[in-house]
């Protein structure tokens, strides 16, 4: 066993609440870390209920989750919590819309993310992986690198290239900072939204970043208009595919504002989440050197001539995929989502009333003792036989009709980047600088993921 073998200990986790909290204490905790309001018992029981202004229920029972996310979808629309945060940036796009307005957009966008289209975009992911490896090499062996920042750069490269690429008028860096600032700032005031205060209450994000957002929207609209005039011959990216897309049922096509809202949605929903999967995967590999060695051996065997991983390689890298699956279990980027009950129902024998908030705490679900052996332990072999994983006990991408539309895009990108980096570097942790999982809008490693990258 080597110095960094941690297979007997556990990677970092969030301390969950063990006693009932008062309102002020809860508010304070939410402000710091949304996950910390999950009671410890949510990892031991199928449902936990409480009341704070509104009645709420945290559900970690697979059957009840199936009911909320699949069978009774219309009874449980997405709650205003996330919508209020995101609406100023992404309007009534696929992520936010409900009912008929959601359905036609989903029908229009689904073919854009077909297996063939996603595979066609793999060269963009490979190019980003190559650039990331070159940046790491430039750092040298002895410098601590914040791999979260590095993965944010790599995944933004990808999402910018598949949305608004090839047009000089789109200032990528400016767009990146606007989106980052917006999410960071909006998240700070998410407390208001947790309590579902009305949307007209002014929040700092909307005032501070209103101008930046407006400019970004204007730039995006110009790129879309330009692309409308000439597109063709090259491999179609997400904008080309959306421009050609139409609702198979009604033949409706998206107008410029709808295209822009959905493309910005892909950036907001897709880039940080994928960077998080990669950062947590790298943290876990550095945490457990035996796992890292196995993943490295696999990557080096497939990429034997030192080349970058491609879309076709993904199927040949099953252990790399298992590491990512396990990272998504321990640190699901969407650590919890919530729904508003609009009709009377029953979940795990408990009455749900219209107006109740139903919280789907994926973080606690993935660490529930009724569903997982040694839930806090890092063990990618859990995913060796995927059929052994019960469908509604593992939900990093949600499930049912509103399942993440970018899941296979994200997984392909994560495998390509992780395999390329592991085939070229060995990652080691910096003592005393473990990341702290903090849930704002997504489950982030506070303080960053600081590692050394030594060429192999
Ligand atoms: C590892 C990376 C990702 C994770 C963990 C993730 C997670 C999720 C989850 C949990 C949902 C469901 C939310 C809910 O039910 O309330 C969702 C929805 C969505 N995601 Fe992702 N996502 C990822 C990457 C992406 C990418 C790359 C894209 C696009 C390029 C994307 C676009 C979307 C969209 C548009 C929806 C809304 C779908 C709908 O409501 O019909 N996501 N994602």
Query: Which of 98, 404, 441, 443 has most ligand 1 atoms within 8 Å of its beta carbon, as the pocket-test mutant?
Result: 404
CB 96 within 8 Å of CB 86: yes
Nearest ligand 1 atom to the CA of 162 is: 30
What is the structure's pLDDT at 206? Answer: 46
Which residue has the least CA distance to atom 27 on ligand 1?
Answer: 270
- Asked whether 287 lines ligand 1 (CB < 6 A), one says no
Is the pLDDT reported for residue 7 higher than 60? no
Asked whether residue 58 carries a pLDDT value surpassing 50, the answer given is yes
Identify the top-confidence range among 34-48, 259-273, 313-327: 313-327
pLDDT of residue 302: 98
User: Could you tell me the pLDDT band of residue 232, with boundaries at 50, 70 and 90?
Assistant: low
Residue-wise pLDDT tens digits, 378-402 = 999 999 999 999 999 999 999 999 9
Nearest CA to ligand 1 atom 6: 397
Question: Cα–Cα distance between 145 and 134 in angstroms, integer?
Answer: 13
Within 8 A by CB and 6+ apart from 57, the residues are 47, 48, 49, 347, 350, 352, 356, 357, 358, 359
Comparing CA positions, the residue from 380, 272, 377 lying closest to residue 333 is 272
| Residue 114 alpha carbon to ligand 1 centre in Å | 15
Residues 42-46 have a mean pLDDT of 84
200 backbone dihedrals φ, ψ, rounded to 5°: -80, -10
pLDDT band at 268 (very low <50, low <70, confident <90, very high): confident
The whole-number pLDDT of residue 400 equals 97
pTM (2 decimals)?
0.92
Looking at per-residue pLDDT, the higher value among 339 and 44 belongs to 339
Task: Please tell me the predicted confidence (pLDDT) of residue 183.
Answer: 66
Please state, in angstroms and as integers, the Cα–Cα distance from residue 44 to each residue in 26, 213, 251, 368, 371, following that order: 21, 43, 48, 6, 9
Burial class (CB in 10 A: 0-12, 13-18, 19+), 5: middle
378 touches ligand 1 (CB under 6 Å)? no
Q: Give the mean model confidence (pLDDT) for residues 350-374.
A: 93
Tell me which residue has its CA closest to atom 11 in ligand 1: 404
Percent over 70 (pLDDT), the chain: 85
250: CA distance to ligand 1 center in Å?
25
Beta bridge partners of 17: 39
Does ligand 1 have an atom closer than 6 angstroms to the CB of 406? yes
Distance of CA 88 to the CA centre of its chain: 20
Q: State the closest ligand 1 atom to the C-alpha of 413, by its place in the atom list counted from 1.
A: 27
Question: Which ligand 1 atom sits closest to the C-alpha of 339?
Answer: 16
Q: Whose CA is nearest to atom 20 of ligand 1?
A: 404
Q: Which CATH number is associated with domain 23-455?
A: 1.10.630.10
Q: Is the pLDDT of residue 37 over 80?
A: no
pLDDT digits (tens, 9 = 90+) for 123-133: 999 999 999 99
Mean pLDDT score of the chain: 86
Tell whether ligand 1 has an atom less than 6 A from the beta carbon of residue 160.
no
Reply yes or no on whether the pLDDT at 284 is more than 90: yes
> CB-hemisphere CA count at 13 Å for 79?
24
């Amino acid at each position: 066993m080597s110095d960094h073998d941690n297979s007997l200990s556990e990677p970092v986790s969030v301390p969950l609440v063990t006693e009932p909290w008062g309102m002020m204490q809860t508010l304070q905790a939410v402000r710091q870390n949304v996950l910390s309001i999950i009671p410890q018992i949510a990892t031991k029981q199928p449902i936990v209920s409480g009341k704070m202004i509104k009645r709420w229920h945290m559900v970690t029972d697979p059957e009840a989750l199936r009911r909320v996310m699949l069978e009774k979808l219309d009874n449980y629309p997405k709650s205003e919590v996330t919508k209020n945060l995101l609406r100023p940036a992404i309007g009534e796009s696929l992520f936010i819309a409900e009912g008929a307005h959601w359905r036609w957009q989903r029908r229009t966008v689904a073919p854009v993310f077909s297996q063939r289209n996603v595979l066609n975009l793999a060269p963009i992911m490979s190019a980003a992986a190559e650039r990331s490896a070159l940046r790491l090499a430039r750092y040298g062996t002895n410098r601590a690198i914040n791999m979260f920042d590095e993965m944010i750069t790599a995944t933004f490269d990808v999402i910018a290239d598949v949305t608004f690429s090839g047009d000089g008028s789109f200032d990528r860096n400016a767009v990146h900072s606007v989106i980052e600032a917006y999410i960071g700032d909006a998240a700070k005031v998410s407390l208001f939204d947790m309590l579902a205060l009305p949307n007209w209450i002014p929040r700092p994000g909307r005032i501070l970043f209103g101008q930046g957002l407006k400019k970004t929207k204007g730039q995006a609209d110009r790129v879309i208009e330009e692309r409308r005039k000439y597109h063709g011959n090259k491999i179609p990216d997400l904008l080309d595919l959306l421009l050609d897309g139409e609702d198979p049922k009604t033949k409706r096509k998206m107008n410029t504002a709808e295209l822009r809202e959905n493309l910005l949605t892909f950036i907001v929903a897709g880039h940080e989440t994928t960077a998080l999967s990669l950062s947590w995967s790298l943290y876990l590999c550095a945490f457990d050197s035996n796992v890292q060695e196995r993943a490295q051996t696999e990557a080096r065997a497939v990429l034997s001539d030192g080349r970058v991983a491609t879309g076709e390689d993904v199927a040949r890298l099953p252990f790399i995929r298992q590491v990512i699956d396990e990272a998504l279990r321990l640190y699901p980027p969407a650590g919890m989502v919530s729904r508003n009950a609009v009709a009377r129902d029953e979940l795990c024998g408990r009455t749900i009333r219209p107006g109740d908030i139903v919280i789907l705490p994926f973080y606690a679900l993935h660490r529930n003792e009724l569903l997982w052996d040694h839930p806090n332990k890092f063990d990618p072999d859990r995913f060796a036989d995927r059929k052994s994983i019960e469908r509604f006990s593992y939900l990093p991408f949600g499930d049912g009709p509103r399942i993440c539309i970018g899941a296979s895009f994200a997984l392909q990108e994560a495998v390509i980047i992780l395999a390329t980096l592991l085939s070229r570097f060995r990652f080691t942790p910096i003592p005393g600088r473990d990341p702290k999982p903090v849930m704002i809008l997504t489950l982030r490693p506070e303080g960053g993921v600081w590692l050394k990258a030594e060429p192999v």
